């Protein structure tokens, strides 16, 4: 089954300094964090805006990362977007 992203919610994680979002592989929830550095943003508002503006490419990067390293909690870094 392919990874899907039916839930458009996202939140800023102050501790990890990034944006959290969810994907699903069948009935399994997969948690993602995209680092603020990968979004090229420094503030919470800027990170959330950058995430919303580039959501399709973030989801593509998340799908590629998930295919390479299956797990239920993945962090996307700037390298995942190259």
pLDDT tens digits, one per residue of 23-81? 999 999 999 999 999 999 999 999 999 999 999 999 999 999 999 988 999 999 999 99
Is 58 among the domain residues?
yes
The CA–CA distances, whole Å, from 49 to 10, 15, 46, 65 equal 11, 19, 5, 22
Is 34 among the domain residues?
no
Q: What is the pLDDT of residue 5?
A: 97
Q: What is the pLDDT of residue 20?
A: 98
Task: Give the chain's domain count.
Answer: 1
Predicted TM-score (pTM) of this structure: 0.94
Q: What is the distance of C-alpha 77 from the center of its chain?
A: 9
DSSP SS3 for 6: coil
Is 70 among the domain residues?
yes
CA angle 54, 72, 74 (to 5 degrees): 45
């Amino acid at each position: 089954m392919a990874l899907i992203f039916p839930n458009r919610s996202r939140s800023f994680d102050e501790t990890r300094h990034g944006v959290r979002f969810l994907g699903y592989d069948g009935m399994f929830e997969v948690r993602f964090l995209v680092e603020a550095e990968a979004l090229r943003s420094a503030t919470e508002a800027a990170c959330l805006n950058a995430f919303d503006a580039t959501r399709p490419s973030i989801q593509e990067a998340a799908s590629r990362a998930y295919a390479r390293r299956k797990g239920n909690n993945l962090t996307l870094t700037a390298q995942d977007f190259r």
